[in-house]
Amino acid sequence: MLQHDDSPEDPCAHHDSQRQADVSNPSDAPSLDVLIARRYSRRALLQGVLGASAVATLGGWPGARRATAAEREGAPSWSASMTFAGVAHGIDAEHHVARGYRADILLRWGDPVLADAPAFDAHAQSANAQRRQFGYNNDFVGYVPLPYGSQNSEHGLLCVNHEYTEARLMFPAGSASSAERVAIEMAAHGGSIVEVRKTGGRWQVVSDSAYARRINALDTAMRFAGPAAGSARLRTRDDPDARRVTGTIANCAGGITPWGTWLMAEENFHYYFGGKLDGNPEADNYRRYGLPSTRYAWSRHDRRFDLAAEANAANRYGWIVEVDPYDPLAVPVKRTALGRFRHEAAANTLGKDGRLVVYSGDDQAFEYLYKFVTAGKVDSRERAANRDLLDDGTLYVARFEADGTLRWLPLVHGQGGLEADNGFHDQADVVIEARRAATLLGATPLDRPEDVEPNPVNGRVYVMLTGNHRRGHEAVDAANPRAANLWGHILELTPHDGDHAATRASWRIVIGAGNPRDPATAAHWHPQTAENDWFACPDNAAVDPRGNLWVATDQGSRWHLTSGSADGLWALATDGEERGRARMLYRAPVGSEVCGPCFTPDGRTLFLAVQHPGSDGTEAFTGFGRRSSFADPATRWPDFDDRTPPRPSVVVITRDDGGPIGS
């Protein structure tokens, strides 16, 4: 999900490098664009979509038909409920929200989390202070009501991921990559649990909360559970039993379970590990994940991230971490049954029989879509009964067929070639090398699968594919003009018989992002899409209590090529006559991406994370035209204080009249 510049001088630089990173998937399975081309003929598109006059606008994308009468029946009416006037495209140093709404800053990097946290001073940072303060680059936001089990929409806990750090905006010039600076960066990773309450119509942080907690990469103790716990491939000198691990990194999107725990997804863990692989028994495994890297200097100061000192170091990251926000003493757990890859999201829902289903994308070009189905059922009456539910179940990877069906392939030791002859000696090997196992089964490579959100109202699942400019022209044909896909698209999955635990589903495309008025993008939107009502690079998503889909975008440093506008949050119609129509509620300041949209149970409050303000693509920002730095940023949002650099922040959006968001 990150989007940075790719400069070797900045070990924390990352995000646009995600788009530029070398493809590490050797699979020759047909990618989704090839399947689209096979599924839809030119004749069908011309005759069965919107007619010849619309083909140039839609670019031949499938799924652009109007909903059938059966589909419209009972579907929410987006045109009736989404009555706000959308924010226009644009880019500047401020943020913007639709008329009739307010956007308040709730939490900023460096704000106190623990009661004894010192006041933030960007010029006098320390690891000890950062361990008590709100971390950097907030991403996923989850809300759990207080007390547990209630639907309280005015008092609860926010669970916020801190994905990564960006040294050139965090530290003054001349701040060398010392052991202390590395410790500050480690302390700024992980997550924060913050108690919040709505008082007098405004949300505030409860400053002396007993629930307040910082989870970090520096010294937070965690444990392993599931099939990889105890594996020789996770052993280190500090943990010879492979049962304990310190810290979590690269925490991107996530999820909240039905029993109120927080799932933190470890995404781009590969950026943190240095050291040579010569003679390392994990060398092939690590190369599949893009290791080693020189983007962070951590391996110079901490053996945990030095592959030469600890051969198994990187196998200890890339997991889903479960945290109990209601118990500040509970030890976080890395649930290895859900597989090791660059997890984006851990959104979850129930199968028909009550088993939990967790969806997750692997955020790299040509990687895969996964889901995990627990063996046991969720116990809605006894919270403690779900404590280890995520340690036993089946991990699946998706294969998209040309006929519009999807098969979920089980990643189970002893099945489908996942055997000793192929280097898989037990289930621990399967989950540690989930990517290689998925490739062996013939999973479908996708265009950067990021957030995956089930919609409890219509029963479908929405998959954000942020883009893939590396798709070759050899895949282009009349039905699939999206080579060099800068703009991304959104898939809609319909589980067989409405059961998320089923091993079959159908798929189609909701939108092909990009400018519908530019034939070069071959975009696909509702035919009456207005000038400002389209976006590029869908990344995070959320579903509000009425079943409306909300999409946050992340264009990275290529925003001037993909839309010419800053990133934002959009309402997107998925049902009825308005299917494929979008509208922007919130626009972020220059250089930012929008993450973690999260609604309270009543839908009257929306929390958003705004990452790396002033960072991405500021060279193309008219009137600035150069790379941002601590002393010279493109924006000083949200403080606009000459001594303070831009600060990643959580924004809270409410309606002026107190009504539900979007209606």
Q: Whose CA is closest to 33, among 350, 634, 420, 477?
A: 477
Each residue's pLDDT tens digit, 150-172:
999 999 999 999 999 999 999 99
Each residue's pLDDT tens digit, 169-215:
999 987 767 999 999 999 999 999 999 999 999 999 999 999 999 99
pLDDT at residue 347, rounded to an integer: 97
Each residue's pLDDT tens digit, 255-302:
999 999 999 999 999 999 999 999 999 999 999 999 998 799 999 999
Quote the CA–CA distance of 515 and 563 in Å, as a whole number: 7
Q: Name every residue whose Cβ is closer than 8 Å to that of residue 657 and which is 6 or more positions away in sequence.
A: 100
Asked whether the beta carbons of 96 and 188 are under 8 A apart, the reply is: no
Residue 11 has pLDDT above 60, yes or no: no
Quote the CA–CA distance of 136 and 187 in Å, as a whole number: 9
Burial class (CB in 10 A: 0-12, 13-18, 19+), 404: middle
Residue 556 has pLDDT above 80, yes or no: yes
pLDDT at residue 470, rounded to an integer: 76
Q: Supply the pTM of this predicted model.
A: 0.92
Residue 107 has pLDDT above 80, yes or no: yes
Residue 377 has pLDDT above 80, yes or no: yes
Q: Whose CA is closest to 188, among 248, 236, 273?
A: 248
pLDDT at residue 186, rounded to an integer: 98
Residue 363 has pLDDT above 60, yes or no: yes
Quote the CA–CA distance of 61 and 122 in Å, as a whole number: 48
Whole-number average pLDDT of the chain: 89
The values of phi and psi at residue 181, to 5°, are -65, -40
Q: Name every residue whose Cβ is closer than 8 Å to that of residue 175 and which is 6 or more positions away in sequence.
A: 167, 181
